[in-house]
């Protein structure tokens, strides 16, 4: 498989995952973070949800960048 094909497949997969993850994160934020009184804890929840997509995407990004 060529590098160009891997990048196309990876980009479509990543876009799909991020859209689904964003919807999931919004629902989770409404049901958890918005009910928390502590501003610090709310910040931690939002930071974790905001950065949470990167960890599952790392193997895909490494696969996309693999040489032919």
Structure tokens at 17: 């995952």
Q: pLDDT for 14-68, tens place per residue?
A: 999 999 999 999 999 888 878 888 889 999 989 999 999 999 999 999 999 988 7
Q: What does the pLDDT read at residue 35?
A: 84
Q: What is the pTM of this model?
A: 0.81
DSSP string, 1-52: --HHHHHHHHHHHHHHHHHHHHHHHHHHHHHTGGG---HHHHHHHHHHHHHT
């Amino acid at each position: 498989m060529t590098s160009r094909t891997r990048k196309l497949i990876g980009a479509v997969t990543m876009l799909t995952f991020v859209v689904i993850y964003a919807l999931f994160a919004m629902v989770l934020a409404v049901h958890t973070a918005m009910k928390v009184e502590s501003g610090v804890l709310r910040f931690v929840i939002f930071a974790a949800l905001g950065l949470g997509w990167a960890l599952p995407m790392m193997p895909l990004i490494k696969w996309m960048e693999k040489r032919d």
